[in-house]
Amino acid sequence: MRNHQRALRSGILIRKLLGLSVCALVGAGCATGPQSRVSPPESVASSPAIEAINSALASAAQQTPAAAADYRLGPEDVLQITLFNVPAAEVGVTPRQTEVRVSQEGKITLPLLGDLVAAGMTTAALEQVLRGQYNKYIRDPQVGVQIKEYRSQQVSVMGAVGRPGVFQLTGPRTLADLLSMAGGINDKAGGQVHIYRQGSQGRQTYVVDLSALASNPGLVNMPVQPPDVINVPLAGMFFVDGAVGKPGSFALSRPYTLTQAITMAGGIDEVLAKYSDVSIFRRRNGLEAEKISVDLNEILAARVSDPWIEAEDVIVVPISTAKYIVERFLGHIGLGGVTGIRPY
């Protein structure tokens, strides 16, 4: 049970394929790569390219809406709740407009209704709950919920950025916002951004392509949530996640095969891993994402060769007991694309 929980926490949710030309290569024979040298690091490279990406990120950050429909309420948020159809004669009993703060327990207290849970809800969801509650006292209640003050939230940004650190947020923010607040990317950055999030189903990982974020932020500029950790890996790294001991990013300091890369990530979880369905997601020519399907059973039995890993590869070892690991990339890897592993 302990191993099961650990693997679930380290698993990634990758749910939906959006707008991406993916070449799926089945079998390790298709997955073999150069066998004599390490692939050169694929960074976002030259200063003009970095400046262009940072400029695009800053522009995307300026376009962040004042509020987000999917923002989840939490402790210390201040809400204004309006009952639009309260008759004038009843205003003294039931205020037409009430301002409340979400408590540390995630609740709000309202006249007539008492304590109600608000944390974790969107404003639209809370409006629906309030309509149902007020319907006991008011005919066809029309309820509006507005966020007057946002709680302070922390999101960490690390890696190849200008000013890594922990940032205090008040209100909805996006990935582009946080990268801009952290001084943008620097000349040591690779081509990806990783977002690590603790969700209701355990640890979730999102991998977003920097060029896609800069060229098409409307598609991939996802909202961040506290306490997300945003990491911009250095060029020349590869990423391993799923049913492994130590998921994360690793330097491609010498040639590694797939099995060696998995060993670097703490080894495979022998109980939960689905050996027959390992995937390598790889950028090709800055235009496409390529999914390379690998059967580890065949490699371990020496029936097929062990594929070589390249810089920027994303390796996913799925969990056989939970079929919720499905590949999901946003846009195109490189030009307008994302190595987007992320639930939306």
Question: What CATH number is associated with residue 22?
Answer: 3.10.560.10
**CA distances from residue 45 to 188, 252, 322 in whole angstroms, order as listed:** 8, 17, 39
Q: Which residues contact 159 (CB under 8 A, 6 or more apart)?
A: 189, 231, 232, 233, 234
Shared domain check, 227 and 195:
yes
Q: Is the pTM of this model over 0.75?
A: no
Q: If DSSP codes are grouped into helix, strand and coil, which group holds residue 145?
A: strand
Which CATH number belongs to the domain containing residue 135 in this structure? 3.30.1950.10
Domain match, 130 and 275 both: no
Is 334 part of a structural domain of the chain? no
Are 211 and 240 in the same domain?
yes
* Count of structural domains within the chain: 2
**Is 138 in the same domain as 48?**
no
| CA 71 vs CA 81, 174, 196, 203, 327: distances in Å | 17, 11, 18, 20, 26
Query: How many angstroms separate the CA atoms of 39 and 251, rounded?
Result: 12
Would you write out the chain's pLDDT as a tens digit for each of its 344 residues? 444 444 333 333 332 222 222 222 222 223 333 333 333 344 454 555 778 878 877 887 776 554 556 678 888 899 999 988 776 555 555 678 899 999 999 999 998 899 999 998 989 999 999 999 999 888 888 999 999 888 877 899 999 999 999 998 877 888 999 999 999 999 899 888 999 988 666 778 888 888 888 888 877 888 888 889 999 999 999 999 988 999 999 999 899 999 999 999 999 988 788 899 999 998 776 556 688 999 999 999 999 999 999 998 999 998 875 433 333 333 333 333 334 333 32
Q: Could you tell me if 115 and 138 lie in one domain?
A: yes
Domain membership flag for residue 6: yes
Same domain, 60 and 195: yes
Give residue 139's domain range.
78-149
Verify that 133 and 54 share a domain, yes or no.
no
Q: Give the Cα separation of 19 and 300 in Å (integer).
A: 35
Percent helix, strand and coil across the chain, each to the nearest 5: 20, 35, 45
Domain for residue 325, yes or no?
A: no
Spatial contact of 21 and 286, defined as CB atoms under 8 Å apart: no
Q: Is residue 322 part of a domain?
A: no
Backbone phi and psi for residue 39, each to the nearest 5 degrees, phi listed first: -65, 140
Q: Is the dihedral of CA 186, 52, 177, 197 positive or negative?
A: negative
